[in-house]
């Protein structure tokens, strides 16, 4: 069986305790009933013309949605977000697919972190048939020295910037609370990346979907803020691709792009947009109402605290339970702990055994690696299970690992 | 100005009476408030676990959604529709884009009717960069004799069927209440098309979005039903791409594909699906509830009658008001009347004048033609305006036309 298909099989299995899944579970979705009851009433009862919520809507997204969102994000980011730079999407997956297929689908190059989000590099490579080039990462983020060489190597000699094709390649990155690695890019790395993007005419697509799930005092600055408009070299080389999936409800399939005008105008002028209008209008009206009523703001505080507690708990449990040779760094936000196992351990083999004997699932590192590396890593998620279930799952994981590493049983 | 951009500008103008728009307007969306109030309460109040509506959900779509939909469609179509052959989409645009980008994006061929839906042929050509080949049509549908020649001409010699690439090309058609032409394919033409598709290893993507908006006694048979499973040559060469946009609410961005297993398995195994799960889950739960409560069934009857009355009214008005040399055939369903003007009339010039002098908009035929033809045609829509507004719009249209055709003033 194809290893990816095998991982999907474990992911879909209802019999396994899911340390694999990177989405909110029943506990952090509990308040959605109240939120959506109130938001629906607000849209249907208090709007002057409730039929507006059911029509084809503006390609860029409903004005009220973008206004409410801009206000919310400005407050959360402690930075200015303007509604004219926001565009509605049907979630971050659709956002990435839409953007990549419109701006880059002609066998163009997508540079990606190694490791990265598993379904993104496979989507770019297989669904969109882009040329995916892995770039190594370290604790500070993507290796911009290697990137610089790769950019010079891959740039087509014939390329010149036009309004329709402002970029010859994209870089897909997760600079804040990286999936799977958990780290944030250093300030220097962010500056470097933006500089390279400007210099080499490439678009950086930053997936900023965990930013609001931070556990420290302050929210890390999103990459887009480093692409400073007042800088003399500013052209608009960074897009922030975001979603309500982690901070509200993935079932909503709602997100947004924050993007410079030269990117937005290509998206808005697309025939997909011409045909569909707003990519998820009714859902965006509900989200706008949840923001207007302050429900989203309250909810993100609540779930942030829950995830923070779980993350602390997971890391404490792992520190006690992991056998020697297994290491990790505690992330300051997001959903994942990225555990490095001894070199000899193939995490897919471990998963097979753990699924069978301990009835748990987790993500083996190879899925996240466009170069086929990270075989001895696993990604454990705090997002779906509550603390009691996590506790069982982590005990099982540590036991599986001890079984698996020869000579390491106590 | 690019002529397409110019047409979009007229479409977006709030100042013009919209005979252009092919979507429900305030009158036929009025009941949505009640429908969605009840559907939301059903999902949030009566479900055992309402958090299910907010999670990532099955790639193919929620089981209840597919079950309810299968029951509804079986009843409407008077034919068997099985839930295992349905897949949720975020509307017909997303359905077509998803399907085409996954199965055909490598510069493959898309045969399209000439004329066809304007945003579909442009999406295939420009957004997805497929090779779009126009096929002429007549009153019975796509010209299968010409198609046969084109298929033999374009088939790559090297092509062999594999599970991942079962087709070397697609045909995009609207066989029932065609957009813009309004006609239905004859039975013979449907049989021919299916035979060609099987023989030449191509996929027919039938956009079946107006089927339920029929004005005669019986609903026309959808093309997929001609791809008979009991036929010895059956392999599964037809997909039916559908939406709730015309029968409920476009703002919902919800639709479905009815497709053979060999197509569905490629879509379900895509990385887009892996990442997003169900392409519009919460909306699908609302639609499932609206179906379970019988609200959608009642609504489609109501709007069908409204549209039928409007269509009768529009055709009567045009028969009285159109100057000699302008002709049309009254459609038995759907939203559009396709008016042929005298050869000398360029409908874009007519639109310019009519927008300025009479404050109306309509679709000039050239937009619908992948070959750049049909310049002297216009598409008029009954969908957005109520009868009183339609009346004004049609008087204005006929006046504009009489102004425009020299020597034809009364």
Torsion-angle region of A182 (φ positive above 0: left; ψ -120 to 50: alpha; else: beta): left
pLDDT digits over B22-32, tens only? 999 999 999 99
The arithmetic mean of pLDDT across residues B18-23, rounded, is: 95
| Inter-chain touch A281–B250, beta carbons under 8 Å | yes
Find chain A residues with C-beta within 8 A of B90's C-beta. 90, 94, 253, 279-280
Find chain A residues with C-beta within 8 A of B285's C-beta. 251
Give the gap in angstroms from C-alpha A92 to the nearest C-alpha of chain B: 8
Class for the domain spanning A3-22+297-404: alpha beta
Tell me the backbone φ, ψ of residue A297, rounded to 5 degrees: -60, -45
| Inter-chain touch A122–B8, beta carbons under 8 Å | no
The answer to whether residue A279 neighbours chain B at the CB level (below 8 Å) is yes
A46, with CB counted inside 10 A (0-12, 13-18, 19+), is exposed
The answer to whether residue A265 neighbours chain B at the CB level (below 8 Å) is no
Q: Best mutation site among A60, A282, A296 for testing chain B: the one with the most B CBs within 10 Å?
A: A282
| Inter-chain touch A276–B282, beta carbons under 8 Å | no
Q: How far is C-alpha B275 from the geometric centre of its chain's CA atoms?
A: 27
Find chain A residues with C-beta within 8 A of B120's C-beta. 271, 275
Residues 6 or more apart whose CB falls under 8 angstroms from that of A85 comprise A258, A259, A260, A261, A264
Neighbours of B38 (CB within 10 A): 15
In the block, tokens 């957004």 appear at B127
Which pLDDT band holds residue A1 (cuts at 50, 70, 90)? confident
pLDDT digits over B176-233, tens only? 999 999 999 999 999 999 999 999 999 999 999 999 999 999 999 999 999 999 999 9
Rounded CA separation A397/A380 (Å): 10
CATH fold, domain A33-293, is 3.40.640
The answer to whether residue A230 neighbours chain B at the CB level (below 8 Å) is no
Give the gap in angstroms from C-alpha A120 to the nearest C-alpha of chain B: 8
pLDDT digits over A291-345, tens only? 999 999 999 999 999 999 999 999 999 999 999 999 999 999 999 999 999 999 9
Neighbours of B149 (CB within 10 A): 11
Give the gap in angstroms from C-alpha B328 to the nearest C-alpha of chain A: 25
pLDDT digits over A227-256, tens only? 999 999 999 999 999 999 999 999 999 999
pLDDT digits over B291-309, tens only? 999 999 999 999 999 999 9
Which pLDDT band holds residue B410 (cuts at 50, 70, 90)? very low
Average model confidence (pLDDT) for chain A? 95
Q: What is the DSSP string of B199-261?
A: HHTEEEEEE-SSTT-B-SSSPPPPGGGGS-TTSTT----EEEEEESTTTT-GGG--EEEE--H
Average model confidence (pLDDT) for chain B? 95
Starting at the edge strand found earlier in the chain, the sheet holding B377-381 runs: B336-340, B377-381, B363-364
The answer to whether residue A57 neighbours chain B at the CB level (below 8 Å) is yes
Q: What is the DSSP string of A208-239?
A: -SSTT-B-SSSPPPPGGGGS-TTSTT----EE
Beta strands in A90-227 (DSSP E): 109-114, 131-138, 141-142, 169-173, 202-207
Q: Best mutation site among B251, B270, B273, B295 for testing chain A: the one with the most A CBs within 10 Å?
A: B251
Class for the domain spanning B32-293: alpha beta
Per-residue confidence (pLDDT) for residue B405, from 0 to 100: 85
* Side-chain-side CA neighbours of residue B195 (13 Å): 10
Q: What is the pTM of this model?
A: 0.96
Lowest-confidence pick of A82-91, A222-231, A393-402, B97-106: B97-106
The domain segmentation of chain B, as residue ranges, is 3-22+297-404, 32-293
Rounded CA separation B134/A67 (Å): 42
Which pLDDT band holds residue A410 (cuts at 50, 70, 90)? very low
Kindly provide the b/e burial profile for residues B95-130, where b requires at least 16 CB atoms within 10 angstroms of the residue's own CB: bbbbbbbbbbbeebbbbbbbbbbbbbbbbbbbbbeb
Per-residue confidence (pLDDT) for residue B407, from 0 to 100: 59
Q: From the list A23, A50, A274, which residue is nearest B119 (CB)?
A: A274
The answer to whether residue B23 neighbours chain A at the CB level (below 8 Å) is yes
Find chain A residues with C-beta within 8 A of B250's C-beta. 54-56, 277, 281
Coil, strand or helix at B174: coil
| Inter-chain touch A251–B57, beta carbons under 8 Å | yes
101-140 of B, contacting A, C-beta below 8 A: 101-102, 105-106, 117, 119-120, 122-123, 126-129
Q: From the list B40, B123, B279, which residue is nearest A272 (CB)?
A: B123
Hey, what are A273's tokens?
């947009």
């Amino acid at each position: 069986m194809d290893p990816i298909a095998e991982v999907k099989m474990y992911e879909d299995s209802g019999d396994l305790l899911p340390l694999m899944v990177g989405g909110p579970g029943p506990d952090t979705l509990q308040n959605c009933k109240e939120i959506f009851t109130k938001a629906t009433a607000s849209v249907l009862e208090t709007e002057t013309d409730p039929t507006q919520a059911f029509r084809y809507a503006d390609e860029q997204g409903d004005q009220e949605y973008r206004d409410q969102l801009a206000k919310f994000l400005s407050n959360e980011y402690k930075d200015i977000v303007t509604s004219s730079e926001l565009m509605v999407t049907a979630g971050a997956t659709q956002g990435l697919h839409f953007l990549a297929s419109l701006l880059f689908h002609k066998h163009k190059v997508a540079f990606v972190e190694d490791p990265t989000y598993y379904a993104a590099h496979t989507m770019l490579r297989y669904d969109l048939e882009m040329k995916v080039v892995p770039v190594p990462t370290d604790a500070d983020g993507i290796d911009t020295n290697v990137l610089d060489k790769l950019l010079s190597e891959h740039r087509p000699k014939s390329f010149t910037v036009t309004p329709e094709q402002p970029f010859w390649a994209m870089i897909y990155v997760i600079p804040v609370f990286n999936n799977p690695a958990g780290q944030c890019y250093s300030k220097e790395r962010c500056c470097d990346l933006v500089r390279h993007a400007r210099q080499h005419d490439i678009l950086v697509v930053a997936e900023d979907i965990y930013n609001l799930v931070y556990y420290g005092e302050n929210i890390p600055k999103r990459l887009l803020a480093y692409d400073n408009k007042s800088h003399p070299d500013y052209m608009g080389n960074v897009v922030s691709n975001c979603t309500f999936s982690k901070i509200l409800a993935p079932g909503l399939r709602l997100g947004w792009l924050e993007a410079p005008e030269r990117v937005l105008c290509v998206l808005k002028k697309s025939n997909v947009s011409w045909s569909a209008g707003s990519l998820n209008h009714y859902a965006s009206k509900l989200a706008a109402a949840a923001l207007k009523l302050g429900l989203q703001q309250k909810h993100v505080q609540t779930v942030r605290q829950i995830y923070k507690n779980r993350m602390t708990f997971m890391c404490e449990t792992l520190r006690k339970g992991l056998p020697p040779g297994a290491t990790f760094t505690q992330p300051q936000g997001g959903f994942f702990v990225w555990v490095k196992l001894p070199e000899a351990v193939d995490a897919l083999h471990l998963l097979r055994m753990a699924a069978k004997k301990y009835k748990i699932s987790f993500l083996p590192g190879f899925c996240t690696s466009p170069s086929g590396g990270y075989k001895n890593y696993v990604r454990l998620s705090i997002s779906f299970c509550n603390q009691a279930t996590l506790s069982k799952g982590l005990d099982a994981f540590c036991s599986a690992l001890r079984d698996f590493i020869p000579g390491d049983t106590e």
